[in-house]
Amino acid sequence: MNLQETISHHVKQAVRSLFNADLESVELQSTRKEFVGDITVVVFPMLRVVKGNPVQIGQQIGQYLLEELKLIKSFNVVKGFLNIEIDTMYYLEVFETIKNNDAFGFVEVQPENKAVMVEYSSPNTNKPLHLGHIRNNLLGYSVSEILKASGKKVYKTQIINDRGIHICKSMLAWKRFGNNETPDSSGLKGDKLVGNYYVKFDQEYKKEVQDLIAQGKTEEEAKKMAPILLEAQEMLQKWEAGDAETVTLWETMNAWVYEGFDETYKNLGVDFDNLYYESQTYLLGKEFVAEGLKSGVFFKKGDGSVWCDLTADGLDEKIVLRADGTAVYMTQDIGTAIQRVKDFPDVGGMVYTVGNEQEYHFQVLFLIIKKLGFEWAENLFHLSYGMVDLPSGKMKSREGTVVDADDLIVEMAKTAEEISEELGKLEGYSIEEKQELYKAIGLGALKYYILKVDPKKRILFDPKESIDFQGNTGPFIQYTYARIQSILRKADANSTLDIQSIQLHQKEKELIKQLLLFPEVIQNAAENHSPALIANYTYDLVKEFNSFYQNVSILGAENENEKAFRVALSRKVAVTIKNAFSLLGIDVPERM
């Protein structure tokens, strides 16, 4: 049992022994700074089963704990709060057990546990990745790593939206205006080249719409009758019919895009275990509609379309098959989810990293899968996140006003360079070392700025604000890690440590307390699918270390044993920073 579990267990025993009552749970919190103590037992919730004055109840429980638990040094009661002070030797003994465990906080995967599949990125193959995709990728990747650290087996996946009218728009524009341009001949990444033709299509489409309006058509008529749109729709029909020329062009242009995506993913530091393609999944799900019709999950309307009535569940009726027998996105998503469990039988749950505009879609999807009788539907989760805005405003792909992911990564490195040069932090570095460091600082700033915010919240992303060597930023934490590495390089790695003779300074105690929270934070972050909990824990750890660093001399300690302890404590903080940042996909430089 950890400290919290031990305290909870003995509080329950105290209540049973003293008041002949049973507590279902014990509410614990960290003791506020202005009071003496480490852990606070909140007495007020106990009044449901224990009648009396909360101060007196707290006093009686505190006395019981003091007599029963050697690790308790003292207690005090403030109103309905029982503040418990833990003996410093407890923290020293626990630190002794974790100081050389570099995987402290990480739980090994248990083979009997069901795996989790995390879907993220899932781009369209008609444009490059942009700032919105960056938040999606960073969240999905980080949640995957956090779930792994919590003891889950994880499959990282994406479904690539490689078919549909939007793909045909890029293909048609290239066919009309491309003059056989390729990534090699243009010097452009493949996804950028294809994205340019998506923008080109929109420009030509708007011209044709204006021409038709000038000829007397209404705007609504003009938008439907524009020749370039009609030709794109015809191209989609040809693709679906397997027309050889259309399919070849589709394969060629998609291959360009995939190569571009791979480069972006590599630069961003994210990866996938397996991929799904909409061109292979868009027909899935129809067989389950047929089964659902038989079992009464779905019903057929007079025009032949098939629906699911979710009104009793507080939702609406949802179409799953059109009157002409073609599937809708919902049908495809039902089929894809079921197919994934067929492909990976150990999967017992899925996490979908998709923007919050799709919340209703996933409510419906999860409910339908549950009604179809799949038990794992209970473990489906929509990792819903808010938009990312820039000071310049909203982005629009078809107009070419998005913030390109590759450009942003480069810009972050340049901003890191400018700020680092201003601060004069990198004397004695080679050009190559500087460039690597700028990239690590820039990417660390970007990732931390996005991941420290609760996923549900909308973000206004300011690149310059994110690269600050003070405050709750990635570079501030990276700099602290590098500072510790500098201390460790100067320390004697072979010095011995006698933990029993250490007199623990209050700052050392606070630092150990913060370190011991790491396993619990990982589990909470996994349960809540929230990298923000890891990010903000790391910031709190770094603040605690810097307070320790400013108040306690490490290498100038009074004796060798004290110095060895403080060096070991500093090393443990560095390892924890590195491990926490690995869960966010952030590198920590050894020197800065």
Q: What is the pLDDT of residues 85-137, one digit of tens each?
A: 999 999 999 999 999 999 999 999 988 889 999 999 999 999 999 988 999 99
> How is residue 58 written in tokens?
């707290």
- Phi, psi (rounded to 5 degrees) for 570: -65, -40
Give the pLDDT confidence score for residue 401 in this predicted structure. Answer: 54
Q: How far apart are CA 285 and CA 268, in angstroms?
A: 34
Q: How far apart are CA 329 and CA 421, in angstroms?
A: 51
Q: Sorting pLDDT into bands at 50, 70 and 90, what band is 42?
A: very high
Instruction: Note the pLDDT of residue 392.
Output: 64
The CA-CA-CA angle for residues 43, 47, 50, to 5°, reads 105
Q: What is the dihedral of CA 90, 96, 97, 99, to 10 degrees?
A: 130
Radius of gyration over every alpha carbon of the chain, rounded to an integer in angstroms: 29
Q: Which CATH number fits domain 3-86: 3.30.1360.70, 3.40.50.150, 3.90.1150.50, 3.40.50.740?
A: 3.30.1360.70
- In the prediction, which pLDDT does 421 show? 77
Higher-confidence residue: 538 or 496?
538
Give the pLDDT of residue 425: 64
Please, are residues 80 and 54 in contact by the beta-carbon 8 Å criterion? yes
Intervals of CATH 3.30.1360.70 along the chain? 3-86
What pLDDT does residue 398 have?
45
Per the CB < 8 A criterion, the answer to whether 399 and 461 are in contact is no
Which pLDDT does position 136 carry in this prediction? 97
- pLDDT at residue 493 in the model: 75
Share of the chain above pLDDT 90, in %: 86
- Supply the pLDDT for residue 443: 95
Summarize pLDDT for 139-171 with one digit per residue, the tens. Answer: 999 999 999 999 999 999 999 999 999 999 999
pLDDT in tens, 221-280: 999 999 999 999 999 999 999 999 999 999 999 999 999 999 999 999 999 999 999 999
Which residue's structure tokens are 């103590």? 37
pLDDT at 253: 98
Note the pTM of the prediction, 2 decimals: 0.92
Of the pLDDT bands very low, low, confident and very high (cuts 50, 70, 90), residue 399 is very low
C-alpha–C-alpha distance, residues 519 and 509, integer Å: 18
pLDDT tens per residue, range 355-371: 999 999 999 999 999 99
**Whether residue 210 has pLDDT greater than 70:** yes
pLDDT range class, residue 428, cuts 50, 70, 90: confident
Task: Return mean pLDDT, the chain.
Answer: 93
- In angstroms, the CA 425 to CA 420 distance is 6
